[in-house]
Amino acid sequence: MDQFTLNLIFIGLSFALYFGIAIWARAGSTAEFYAANRGVHPVMNGMATAADWMSAASFISMAGLIAFTGYDNSTYLMGWTGGYVLLAMLLAPYLRKFGKFTVPEFIGDRFYSQTARIIGVICLLIISITYVIGQMEGVGITFARYLEVSKESGLWIGAAIVFVYAVLGGMKGVTYTQVAQYVVLIIAYTIPAIFISLALTGNFLPQMGLFGSHDASGMEFLTKLDQVVTDLGFKQYTAHNGSTLNMVMFTLALMIGTAGLPHVIIRFFTVPKVSDARSSAGWALVFIALLYTVAPAVGSMARMNLSTTMWPGADTGETYSQPAVSLEAIETSPELNWMRTWAKTGLLSWEDKNGDGLIQYYNDTATEGPAAEMAAAQGLQGNELTQVSNDIMVLANPEIANLPGWVIAIVAAGGLAAALSTAAGLLLAISGAVSHDLIKGALNPNISEKSELMAARISMAVSILVATLLGLNPPGFAAQTVALAFGLAASSIFPVLMMGIFSKRINKQGAIWGMIAGIASTLLYIFTYKGWFFIAGTNMLEDTAANWLFGIAPASFGVVGAGLNFLVAYLVSNVTEEPPVVVQELVESIRVPKGAGAATHH
């Protein structure tokens, strides 16, 4: 059976499963649409949360980022998992005890202000739309490669699928769909990793293979990888090369950004009891760890496979003349079929600059090492593998390693499951904010439940359309998508939730001005270097470390924004009146463990 047919079968079967679940779990009330009627078992919720959380960024991009940068990009692993611990300990149980449907609803009630609730909605929409662009991009890339359609067609297909199960099922349908998507994505991530680990290190567990010995050379795997990449003129894989300050700040931005992501927080409103919120966060960490402990192995083994494909013999230490493969081999060899297929997506490209019929792969800015010496001796014109996108490393890894066709098809289904599960969660957060907080909360408080449910479905459909259009023509800053969404969540939502739960003194004025200061400063900083939204690619300053304020990268600025949010909220609250006594008692009741079996409000 050919690869295209296999892809079609595996992707088709996974979608049939999602549609079946959506029809079975169709939401009939707003309680089912927003919070699955608060009836989800903590283990199921943990699995659904893991799928909601592990987006196209985790499945497709993260190992690619680690593959090309090495140790310095371990920040993603530390920040994202550390954020989950913060969420489980500091936010999830208290927000569940409050017993509401959405994050802006908590903000509005705790800070006794319609204005605060609406600013919460605006922050949520900015974060979620930024994030969802990245998911739709992932859907487009995966469909483009595996269904052999254009990226644009892939985006529309993905949008139609999310539309069916998210608009039909609401939180109830999305929850059970996400459980299925978690199973698909974890199998899809783990099976190729096991195959590749066995081939390179003889270890069944990729986590052990990463720290084991490299079969072909007998050296430790990471030592051999360091040697291969430095021979090619690249930085040592296991070394820390960047700014330590930025590394710490970026990790912190990812951590507090995770704890402030609205689409993840609303998952904890779906469990029956407050204690279940904490336990489902624990289960989510277990399910996430199954992928996150494998990701460093996947990234490093993908880098080894790519390097040794382009520089045959480098893995064994045999004599090799130069880091190159012939154009003829790329065009005819079955082993290099992955290069031909990925070139069609525009995410991989090469150019024979010196017309010798070979594609040389090395770091042409390096001045020492075997590759640099060969380049100088042979008069090479520069690196000829001109583009290798981070986003193809996980998806292409099974093909580079020549794994069976069914493994490649499973990876296709897994990549789509990761992107679609998070897109659905984000769209739910958006539609809840629009229908429950904006329409019912502010514009039409007397709306009937039936009308509110219809408004939720319409706002979900509009959100899908907007997300797809932005995915087709992403604004200039959207290339960074996910990391920037975390910075925005860190600077706006996380501080106001923390202060709302743990401080009786913070009042509505403090919360409002704190949120405005946090998100405005972060947006201003990001757009200054990443390009303004309406004039894609037009930035005031070049995005280089020399221009950054105190050397802080745009993706790391969320921590500064969060600090400003806390500071402004504290200062403004201290020069204005205290919150009403009833609100102070409410804060006290949220924190007190008594009655932890049931929500305070319904």
Q: What is the pLDDT, as a whole number, of residue 294?
A: 94
Residue type, 360: Q
> 343 with 417, same domain?
no
C-beta of residue 426 within 8 angstroms of C-beta of residue 132: yes
* Confidence tier at 599 by pLDDT (50, 70, 90): very low
What confidence tens digit (pLDDT) does each residue in 170-204 have?
A: 777 788 888 888 998 899 999 999 999 999 999 99
Residue listed under structure tokens 């359309």: 465
What confidence tens digit (pLDDT) does each residue in 440-457 have?
A: 888 888 888 889 888 888
Residue 110 is inside which H or E element, if any? Answer: helix 103-110
Neighbour tally for 254: CB within 10 Å: 29
- pLDDT at residue 361 is higher than 80: yes
Q: What is the pLDDT, as a whole number, of residue 602?
A: 45
Residue 358 is inside which H or E element, if any? Answer: strand 358-360
Radius of gyration of the chain (CA): 25
> 440 with 382, same domain?
no
> 174 with 68, same domain?
yes
Helix boundaries (H) for 311-353: 327-332, 337-343
Residue 527 lies in a domain: yes
Residue 310 lies in a domain: no
Which of 330, 361, 387 is the last residue in one of the domains? 387
* The pair of three-digit structure tokens given for residue 57, joined into one six-digit string: 């960024």
| Position with higher pLDDT, 136 vs 179 | 179
Residue 248 is inside which H or E element, if any? Answer: helix 244-259
Q: What is the pLDDT, as a whole number, of residue 582?
A: 92
**Structural domain total, the chain:** 2
Q: Which of 156-165, 214-223, 524-533 has the lowest mean pLDDT?
A: 524-533
> 325 with 228, same domain?
no
| Position with higher pLDDT, 502 vs 381 | 502
Q: What is the pLDDT, as a whole number, of residue 341?
A: 85
Residue 230 lies in a domain: yes
> 427 with 526, same domain?
yes
Alpha carbon separation from 181 to 47, 116, 132, 267, 527 (Å, rounded)? 9, 35, 17, 15, 34
> 94 with 160, same domain?
yes
Residue 167 lies in a domain: yes
Residue 364 lies in a domain: yes
* The pair of three-digit structure tokens given for residue 348, joined into one six-digit string: 């991989």
- pLDDT at residue 34 is higher than 80: no
Residue 597 lies in a domain: no
Identify the CA nearest to 118 among candidates 130, 104, 100: 104
Q: 359 - beta bridge partners?
A: 325
* Confidence tier at 596 by pLDDT (50, 70, 90): very low
Residue 598 lies in a domain: no
Which of 387, 419, 436 is the last residue in one of the domains? 387
Q: What is the DSSP letter of 2?
A: -
> 166 with 253, same domain?
yes
> 81 with 189, same domain?
yes
Q: What is the pLDDT, as a whole number, of residue 322?
A: 62
What confidence tens digit (pLDDT) does each residue in 221-236 have?
A: 999 999 989 888 899 9
Q: CA-CA distance, 536 to 250, in Å (whole number)?
A: 24
> 144 with 51, same domain?
yes
Structural domain harbouring 355: 315-387
Q: CA-CA distance, 108 to 117, in Å (whole number)?
A: 4
Percent pLDDT > 90 in the chain is: 27
Q: 376 - beta bridge partners?
A: none
What confidence tens digit (pLDDT) does each residue in 66-110 have?
A: 998 898 988 988 898 888 888 888 888 888 888 777 889 899 999
- pLDDT at residue 476 is higher than 50: no
Helix boundaries (H) for 386-545: 393-400, 405-432, 449-472, 481-502, 508-530
Q: What is the DSSP letter of 74?
A: G
Which of 333, 363, 387 is the last residue in one of the domains? 387
- pLDDT at residue 27 is higher than 80: no
Q: CA-CA distance, 378 to 180, in Å (whole number)?
A: 54
> 447 with 326, same domain?
no
CA 513, 514, 516: angle at the middle one, nearest 5?
65
Let me know if 32 is exposed, middle or buried by CB neighbors in 10 A (0-12, 13-18, 19+): buried
What confidence tens digit (pLDDT) does each residue in 480-519 have?
A: 566 678 888 999 999 999 999 999 999 999 999 999 999 9
Q: What is the CATH number of the domain that holds 486?
A: 1.20.1730.10
Residue 599 lies in a domain: no
Q: 358 - beta bridge partners?
A: 326
Average pLDDT, the chain: 84
> 295 with 432, same domain?
yes
Phi-psi category of residue 235: left, alpha or beta, with phi > 0 → left and psi -120 to 50 → alpha? beta
Q: CA-CA distance, 257 to 507, in Å (whole number)?
A: 23
- pLDDT at residue 133 is higher than 90: no
| Position with higher pLDDT, 370 vs 111 | 111
What confidence tens digit (pLDDT) does each residue in 272-292 have?
A: 888 888 888 889 989 999 999
CA 557, 562, 565: angle at the middle one, nearest 5?
130
488 alpha-carbon distance from chain centroid: 14
Q: What is the pLDDT, as a whole number, of residue 504?
A: 93
Mean pLDDT of 119-127: 90
Dihedral of the alpha carbons of 460, 466, 472, 475, in degrees to the nearest 10: -130
β-pairing verdict for 387-388 and 324-326 = unpaired
Alpha carbon separation from 63 to 158, 186, 193, 308, 339 (Å, rounded)? 23, 14, 11, 18, 19
C-beta of residue 155 within 8 angstroms of C-beta of residue 140: yes
* The pair of three-digit structure tokens given for residue 22, joined into one six-digit string: 């959506």
> 354 with 429, same domain?
no
* Confidence tier at 136 by pLDDT (50, 70, 90): confident
